[in-house]
Amino acid sequence: MQYINIFRNFIFGFFVFFILFQPFTANASLGARPAYLFVDLEKRNPSGTFTVTNMSNEVQTYRANAIHFAISEKGSVHPVPPDDYSLAKWIKFNPKEFTLEPKTSREIRFSIIRKKNLKPREYWGAIEFMPLKGIKYSGDTDEGGRKMNFEVLSALLIPIYGSVNNIDYEGKVSDVTAERVEDKTGFTALVENTGTGVLRLRGELEVLNATSGEVSLKTPIKIFNVMPLQKRRIKILGSESLPGGSYTAMLRLRQSRPDEVILSHQEKFKLP
């Protein structure tokens, strides 16, 4: 008896205001340029185009959908119903469904038919391109004669961010923890976005010896996003293992654009 499982993989990236984009690629069968979109919602109905490429060796038909998404406290991305920060309900496509020959591209036009009198905040959503058929894989036959077949649907998601003037970019850091991770020291910290715009932060962790005040460890914190009114627990892996003792962790996070934001936090901890 055959059992067919359909997996939906997402190729997703995070837009960073100053042109830093690091996508996670689940399956390189579909590509797009640009990899993200940023629109000015001060304009009545912003619009634009992007290019979608079928990178597979098969003819594929794709359907475009608009979705809203959230980033969990642990950093995972998942679709959610549209809320007051969502662009999804305003995004329109032309065409909505299209077919591409292998290794070919075409332009897709989008427009955002926004409502009037938007509140000053940052809005976001994503354009999802889903193939109507997936790539099929077959597993080995088990002792009972059963064979597992898989059909993988690799969706491409292009994040869209839009803003209205007078956005508040605010946040705070709390709850720093430390633990030993093999031959290194790992840290976590809770970052909360208390404003109305997406925080795009990077920074540095500095650990001081509580007795001598000397710097025991210093490590950079790579860029990450925190959506409005949401929290992220970031993980930071130090370059070495600290000996047992009392320490003070000092976190400094910064966003340089569109508005400068500086967050800092200091917390004492002990390692056995």
pLDDT in tens, 34-80: 888 899 999 888 999 989 999 888 898 999 999 999 999 999 888 99
Choosing from 163, 197, 231, the residue where a domain stops is 163
Co-location of 139 and 195 in the same domain: no
Residue 28 has pLDDT above 60, yes or no: no
Co-location of 256 and 223 in the same domain: yes
**Per-residue pLDDT tens digits for 189-231:** 999 999 999 999 999 999 999 999 999 999 999 999 999 999 9
**Per-residue pLDDT tens digits for 100-131:** 999 999 999 999 999 888 999 999 999 988 88
Co-location of 136 and 263 in the same domain: no
Choosing from 163, 185, 218, the residue where a domain stops is 163
Co-location of 59 and 129 in the same domain: yes
Q: Residue 226, Cβ neighbours under 10 Å: how many?
A: 24
Residue 18 has pLDDT above 60, yes or no: no
Choosing from 144, 163, 182, the residue where a domain stops is 163
Co-location of 151 and 208 in the same domain: no
Tell me the average pLDDT across 264-268: 96
pLDDT of residue 151: 66
Strands, DSSP E only, in the chain?
2-11, 30-33, 37-40, 47-54, 60-71, 77-80, 91-94, 97-100, 105-112, 122-131, 135-141, 147-163, 171-181, 184-193, 199-209, 215-226, 231-237, 245-255, 261-271
Structural domain of 117: 2-163
Co-location of 13 and 119 in the same domain: yes
Contact 105, 52 (CB under 8 A): yes
For residue 33, the domain's CATH number is: 2.60.40.10
Co-location of 123 and 195 in the same domain: no
Co-location of 96 and 36 in the same domain: yes
Co-location of 150 and 197 in the same domain: no
Q: How many domains does the chain have?
A: 2
Co-location of 128 and 55 in the same domain: yes
Residue 2 has pLDDT above 50, yes or no: no
Query: Which residues have a Cβ under 8 Å from the Cβ of 228 and sit 6 or more positions away?
Result: 85, 121, 122, 193, 195, 196, 197, 198
pLDDT of residue 150: 65
Co-location of 65 and 196 in the same domain: no
pTM exceeds cut of 0.75: yes
**Per-residue pLDDT tens digits for 126-182:** 998 888 876 666 777 777 777 777 666 677 888 999 999 899 999 999 999 999 998
Co-location of 109 and 208 in the same domain: no
